[in-house]
Structure 1
Amino acid sequence: MPRVVPAVIRALDVLELFLDRPELSARDVMERLDLPRTTVHELLVTLEARSYLISVPGQPVRYRLGMPVFQLGAAFAGRLDLVREAQDVARDVAAACDEAVHVAVLDGADVIYLVKVDSTHPVRMVSAVGRRLPAHCTAVGKILLSDLDQAALDDILAKGSLPGMTPTSITDPDLLRAQLEEVRAEGVAVDNGESDSAMRCVAAAVRDHSGAVVAAMSVSAPTIRWTAESHVEWTELVRDGAARLSAHMGHVAPAR
């Protein structure tokens, strides 16, 4: 294998320290990377010369990230293709559970399905890419609604009554708000036959490089195959799948 360049690795190590801190001193870098003072000084001077780091005004031995780091990140983000990335991850999740997997985005009070990977079972969910459904009746929609700020959610709920698709659909705004609170706490949402009486779904959020929720991923299955055990299994699958897609979109999960 080609030889890696130690100096480049160290420079990248320095830049990555700023992922969880807006500013660092030269001493901070020395202590966190366990490097000699001279080495750290040379790395910082070099990165500052190329504007990847800039000195904090009035504090010449404290640094923060410079504009070229933002420009590289923006160039990377601009080349990401949600649909392309989602198709690859959705296929893997569907292969693991042999059930339908969807990725959807929010459009006003509705969700629009961008990606669908079918199961191989003869009895399966009837859906299609481009289909639009009321967000509050779906697991993906509840995930996306739960991320809205209070004003945005109020605006959606103020536009009229919540239409029901099945007898179990939530049509009471107060009940929906309460369920969205649970979704925020759990990190997953469930559709208990609210968009199709014969189906169940579980969904999790997909985040981009900024941490914003940009989509939701779900696993959907007929009630005849939805058991307590499969619910647990598919919840973990969709959590993992959404986390993988988020990583592909540039999201860095916070350290636990």
Structure 2
Amino acid sequence: MGRLVPAVTRALDVLELFLQGEGTLSAPEVTRRLQLPRTTVHELLTTLAARSYLVTVPGQPGRYRLGVRTYQLGSRYAEQLDLAAEGQQVAREVAETCDETVHVAILEGAEVIYIAKVDSTHAVRMVSAAGRKLPAHCTAVGKLLLAALPEAELDARLEGRELVAMTGNSITDPGELRSALAVARKRGIAVEHRESNPDVSCVAAPVRDRSGRVVAALSISVPVTRWTEEREAELARLAAGGADALSGRLGHHRSQV
């Protein structure tokens, strides 16, 4: 385990005082409760206020309350909890229809994290687990999520990053990846053939939140022994339908796109 950073620990201690039911706190109150030097408390409060984690109470400049940034972080956390729970339910419904492995994934940096998964009942099926990370460029969900990013953000995430191969079919050329992302962006569907697993192909569709932003992707993974062009088209429709259903649970309506 790495070393704890004292300054960060103290800043979090300040914020956690508000979990004790206090609506507002003054610098002397923080000093007394945390047993910290007055100068240190002043610096902590000033820094937290500058980053909008705290704000001064109108008409009471010496008192502080929680700022908008704490609300934003809490909302983001709650959103992801909802996404995982709802994603698991929708993945189960899609899996019951197609009897193939269904995932829901989100993007973190240039990797995808699987937050929900339901297995196929077939003896031959994809082996994976919720919580697993994979390079985004090697997966259908990842290509779809990268394709949804604004160009500047996509550039920032890919800049200086080596496109490592997971199989002989993985995309390792940046130009080829951008071409694949353009196709996914246009189709609204992404496909990968044996790019992350030599025995599996996959199709994915975008999941949107109430604002219309792509926040996740739902995929169906199939062993190549059961993959045909006809099956791909059928699974693409099922993935799109499942993604739309999950988007609806998150408050999105198709008319918003």
- CA distance in 2 between counterparts of 1:78 and 1:160 reads 31
- CA distance in 1 between counterparts of 2:199 and 2:143 reads 19
Q: Does 1:162 align with 2:177?
A: no
Q: Does 1:232 align with 2:233?
A: yes
The unaligned stretches of length 5 or more in structure 1 are: 1-74
- CA distance in 2 between counterparts of 1:254 and 1:167 reads 40
Report the counterpart of residue 144 of structure 1 in structure 2: 145
Q: How does 1:1-256 map to 2 (within 5 A)?
A: 81-254=82-255
Conserved? CA contact 2:212–2:256, under 8 Å: no
1:255, distance to aligned residue in structure 2 (A): 7.4
- CA distance in 2 between counterparts of 1:162 and 1:150 reads 18
1:120, distance to aligned residue in structure 2 (A): 0.3
- CA distance in 2 between counterparts of 1:224 and 1:152 reads 37
List structure 1 segments (4+ residues) > 2 angstroms apart after TM superposition. Answer: 77-80
- CA distance in 1 between counterparts of 2:217 and 2:172 reads 22
1:160, distance to aligned residue in structure 2 (A): 2.2
Report the counterpart of residue 62 of structure 2 in structure 1: none
Conserved? CA contact 2:204–2:217, under 8 Å: yes
- CA distance in 1 between counterparts of 2:159 and 2:256 reads 38
Partner AA of 2:156 in structure 1: D
Q: TM-score, normalised by structure 1?
A: 0.68
For residues 79-126 of structure 1, the C-alpha deviation after alignment (integer angstroms, 9 at most, x for no partner) is: 771111111111110000000000000000100000010000111101
- CA distance in 2 between counterparts of 1:179 and 1:246 reads 24
- CA distance in 2 between counterparts of 1:178 and 1:108 reads 20
- CA distance in 2 between counterparts of 1:255 and 1:210 reads 8
For residues 151-187 of structure 1, the C-alpha deviation after alignment (integer angstroms, 9 at most, x for no partner) is: 1111122132210101110000111111101101100
Conserved? CA contact 2:210–2:250, under 8 Å: yes
Tell me the SS of whatever aligns to 1:81.
helix
- CA distance in 1 between counterparts of 2:181 and 2:168 reads 19
**CA gap 1:131/1:255 in 2 versus in 1, 3 angstroms:** closer
Tell me the SS of whatever aligns to 2:232.
helix
- CA distance in 2 between counterparts of 1:153 and 1:207 reads 18
Tell me the SS of whatever aligns to 1:111.
strand
**CA gap 1:255/1:146 in 2 versus in 1, 3 angstroms:** closer
- CA distance in 2 between counterparts of 1:245 and 1:146 reads 19
- CA distance in 2 between counterparts of 1:230 and 1:166 reads 23
1:78, distance to aligned residue in structure 2 (A): 5.8
- CA distance in 2 between counterparts of 1:237 and 1:88 reads 15
- CA distance in 1 between counterparts of 2:232 and 2:78 reads 36
Partner AA of 2:127 in structure 1: V
- CA distance in 1 between counterparts of 2:246 and 2:256 reads 18
Partner AA of 1:117 in structure 2: V
Conserved? CA contact 2:167–2:197, under 8 Å: yes
Q: TM-score, normalised by structure 2?
A: 0.68
